[in-house]
Amino acid sequence: MIRRLLLLVVCVLALSACRLDVTVDVAIEPDGTGTVTMTAVADAELVEQVPDLVDDLRLDDAVENGWTVGEPTPTDDGGLELVLTHDVSSAEELANVLNSIGPPLTRMAAARTTDPETEQTTNAINGVMQLPDGFASFADTDLIATVGGVPFEEQIAASGLSPAEAMSFTYRVSLPGELVSAEEGTEVGDGAIEWQAPLDGSETNLYVQTVQIPAGGGTAWAGPLATISLVLLVVWVVLATAFIAFVAVARRKKARRREARLRKLDRDRVT
């Protein structure tokens, strides 16, 4: 599991005073599919002190659980970068993948719903970022039962190094649509929301929500309706004008006929 990988590396860090920087990127497309990318960067000192670090890592469990493990890549400063990716096709799968990473990502949940009336789609991810038990948070129950405790527990305690001194953990989310809420995150480039794990036992809320509004803002009927209304208005004006003109002409003709009859009566009386 991913958390065992983190435990192994961070334990080595604690014993060697080196550093590991981990970033988890969640990128979701408008159709709800996406990718979770986990990038781990070990500094040059760690690579120097543990030259067989990559060979010693066992990532078979990660591969069996759908993760794609890239080839380790040297960094410009002599460190090493390892990238793992996992495709997701639904909100449920996204939550499962995030939970498989383990602390400091905890209680992760995701949802995607579409309103049939407005056709608006709401995307949301929630969870808590916390490392309540320090380095021990990376160990799962099975591992502790197997080895009889947290690996290197006494050595780590003797080193006095805290998780915050040994590593950093960044969580970044990019969801489609307009941002509605990101309670404790920071908006970075391209609309992504980013959180930095405190790693001191405190917790950070990871709730983020966006809304996808269909083309036309869900009122695609408004344009055609406005056009129809305008046409009907013009027709009404034309008909009303024609009717008024007809009435006016009819009255004028009627008045002329009346005048003609009156003149004829006057002539008949004279004669």
**Model pLDDT, residue 17:** 55
**How many residues are recorded in the chain?**
271
CB 88 within 8 A of CB 34: yes
Specify the pTM: 0.70
Written as six digits, the tokens of 41 are 């960067």
**Model pLDDT, residue 255:** 67
Q: Which residue has the tokens 């991913």?
A: 2
- Mean pLDDT, consecutive 10-residue stretches, the chain (271 aa), reads 53 59 95 95 73 63 86 85 93 95 92 94 96 68 46 56 80 96 87 91 94 70 55 60 63 69 63 60
Q: Which residue has the tokens 């197997």?
A: 146
